[in-house]
Chain A
Amino acid sequence: MNKRTIDPERLAAFLDGRLDAAARAAVVEELSHADPETLIAFGDAASIVHRSAQPGGSAWPWSRRSVVVGTVALAAAAAFVAVMLPRFLGRAALDQDGAAHYVTLLDSAALAAQPRSLLDAYRGAGGPSTPTRLAVRIGVKITDLGVAIARGQSTASTLAANLAVKCEEIPGGGAAGAAYRQLAEALVAGKRPDANEFRRAAITAEASAGESSTRLGAWIEAARYAAAGRDAAFFASSETRSMLARSASGEGGDRSSMTDVRREAARRNIDWQSLADALDRALKELAN
């Protein structure tokens, strides 16, 4: 079996139709001698490229199958959309900012608020750290760092340095550790990091720590600030609805931890103290 590696960009240019006849023939020749895994990968890439090129196209080949004909089916589709749409809407901005996104949703009162201190919750007081707990704690610190930067607090550099250490505990977390050390150095030098640097570090951290759990931690901490500052818009945002919907399916964290949070956040007139208590309990369970 031929194990030659084909240049990915030549394959991409082939799929885009950007090669001349001779170059196309050369790629066909190479592919015809390629190993099965290369052929399968090529087929997968071709399928994604073709579907995204179709009219109204998306890389989601089954999106049309959720649209069905008939009264009952239309009602089912409407219910499906009502549940799923917030997840998709929140997703686009999140994919750009990662766990750094939630702090950007806080209003000025929330940014100035002070949630109850739960230091024990994420100093490992409860026992050994699992990867999920570590990821949640990293998410919490990402939000704390964002708030500290927004407030211009001198503690921001310490928070960034602590994040670097936490990230370096994870296999493959070296890049994230380096990103937060750079942030820490800039803060010590009195420079305020720009949004891109903050985003980049968060994206790098969640890539190695685990996206779901890191974002859950970041959201819970931002929600704690929002509850302390009575920021109703935060809990009405599509990002919050998306996070609560994902938590209902158990993604990224224990389903039961978030049950009270979902109930309190869904109230028409939020009882801020009850919501804050539910968030504190959830964070203690997930990070401890």
Chain B
Amino acid sequence: MLAREQAESLFLENLGQIARIIAALCRRSGIWGDEADDFASWAKVRLLEEDYARIRKYRGESSIATYLSVVLAMLHREYCVHRWGRWRPSAAAQRAGPLAVRLETLVRRDRLPLLQAGELLRTNGETTLSDRSLATLLASLPTRQPLRPLDVGDSALVRQEAATRADGDVDEQDDRDERDSTFRLLAQTIDELPTEDRLAIQLHYWSEMSIADISRTLGVAQKPLYRRLHRAMLRLRKRLEAAGVSRELVREIAGKLAS
């Protein structure tokens, strides 16, 4: 473990890098202005605490920039989950740019009416778009139901809350039962996949990474990865259909995993 003085030097030498990483993380999660400053302060205090404990654990097996990226990304998730639960901007919003991320954050996470969100964005100088244009932008972003995690063995899966139905309590219970058993079957099937395929599906689903990014991260060629994931998806679909899961639910789950 590094000595305190060495860790302190690394911290001071890399302050610029730390600031850049924090800024990038805030942009990815739609955190802005005072909220971003709060996170920046919180993260730096975490790096300083216990005599720079997190930096003293650095062993030189990676570049310091990448090490700090991983440490700060983990702190960032801890902060976001504590503040806002498991919400995060959609991949579609991130691809569309910072305005889309901000709009989605204000309307979907913070539940501001669109008009109010538009007013706030224009007042802050983040956009000059009209409410109509912002509505068009928002409509292009996916509507996601609130998520609740389902512990099933080792695979992390999420059970999507069913949309509200007008049917009675019995039908609702049947629905929930079907979804629960379906997700258990899904988790079991995913657990049976080869390790790399399993991780690729989880990164695609949880981190909303593109196949290109996953192939770069895992160091595998993109085209073969596409084919492997396509085969894995077919396998999942066949298992679900063989178990008698309704077509609607299969489509919903497969669509989510394939998006």
Contacts and interface: CB of A to CB of B under 8 A. Distances in A.
B88 interface: yes
B66 A15 contact: yes
Interface string A26-47: 0011011111111111111111
A203 B195 contact: no
B24 A60 contact: yes
A28 B158 CA distance: 21
Interface string B208-241: 1100010011110000000000000000000000
Nearest to A2: B154
Given A24-B219, A43-B207, A44-B76, A36 B156 contact: yes
A61 B61 CA distance: 26
Contacts of A109: none
Given A11-B70, A12-B67, A203-B15, A1 B151 contact: yes
Interface stretch (B40-48, B103-111, B129-137): B40-48
A43 B15 contact: no
A61 B28 CA distance: 10
Interface centre among B19, B49, B124, B151 (most CB of A within 10 A): B19
Interface in B1-57: 8, 12, 15-16, 18-21, 23-25, 27-28, 33-34, 37-38, 40-41, 44-45, 48-49, 57
A13 B78 CA distance: 22
A115 interface: no
A251 B71 contact: no
Contacts of A175: 45, 48-49
A43 B208 contact: yes
Given A28-B199, A29-B195, A96 B15 contact: yes
Given A35-B156, A52-B65, A207-B44, A44 B34 contact: no
Contacts of A209: 41
Nearest to A208: B45
Contacts of B219: 17, 24
A40 B88 contact: yes
Given A12-B69, A18-B61, 9 more contacts: A37-B78, A37-B86, A44-B77, A47-B209, A49-B69, A61-B27, A65-B97, A175-B49, A208-B41
15 contacts: A8-B71, A9-B62, A15-B62, A32-B199, A33-B154, A36-B206, A42-B73, A42-B203, A43-B208, A44-B76, A48-B21, A51-B24, A52-B65, A207-B41, A251-B34
